[in-house]
Chains A and B, each alone.
Chain A
Amino acid sequence: MKYLGVLLIASALLQGQALDPALLNKPLGESWPTYSGDYSGKRYSALTQINQLNVRNLTLAWVSRVTAGPGNAGGRGGGAPTIVGGEGTAGDTGGFGGTPNIRASILEVNGILYLSSPDNAWAVDARDGHEYWHYFWKTRGGTHIGNRGLGMWGNWLYMETPDDYLICLDATTGKERWHKEIANFNQQYFSTMSPVVIGNHVLIGTGNDLDEPGYVQSRDPETGEIQWTFHTVPMAKGDLGLDTWGSLDGARHGAGNVWIPGVYDPETHLYIVGTGNPSPAYTNPPSRAGDNLYTCSIVGINVDTGKMAWYYQFSPHETHDWDSTETPILVDGLFKGKPRKMVLHADRSGYFYVLDRLTGEHLLTSKFSDGANWAKGINEKGQPIRDVEKDSTVPGSLVSPNNGGATNWPPPAYSPDTGLMYVPTNDAFAMYYLTETDPRGAMGLGGKEEDGLGSLGSYLTAIDYKTGKVAWRHRYPGTGGNIGNGMLTTAGKLLFAGDAGGNLVAYNPLNGTILWHTHLGQISNAPETYMLDGHQQILVAAGDTLYAFTLY
Chain B
Amino acid sequence: MGVRRSSFRNALTLSLGLALAGRASGQEPGVRLTYRLRVMAAHAGDTIEIAHAEVAGPLDTDLRLHLAADSAEVDALLSVLPEPDSLTLDGQFLSRRNVGRSRHGLPVWTEDQYQRAARMGWGRAVRVLPFGRARSGGRALWLLATVDRTAGVGATRPTETVEVVEPDVVFTAEAVARPRRATVTLTLERGDTVSAPRVADLVPDGPPRAIDFSRGTGAATMLQVALAYPEPPPPGRDRVLARGADEVCLRVNDPAGQAPARVICGRLNNVARGVPLAGGDTLFVTFAWPGAR
A and B are interacting partners: no
Residues of chain A whose beta carbon lies under 8 Å from any beta carbon of chain B: none
Residues of chain B whose beta carbon lies under 8 Å from any beta carbon of chain A: none
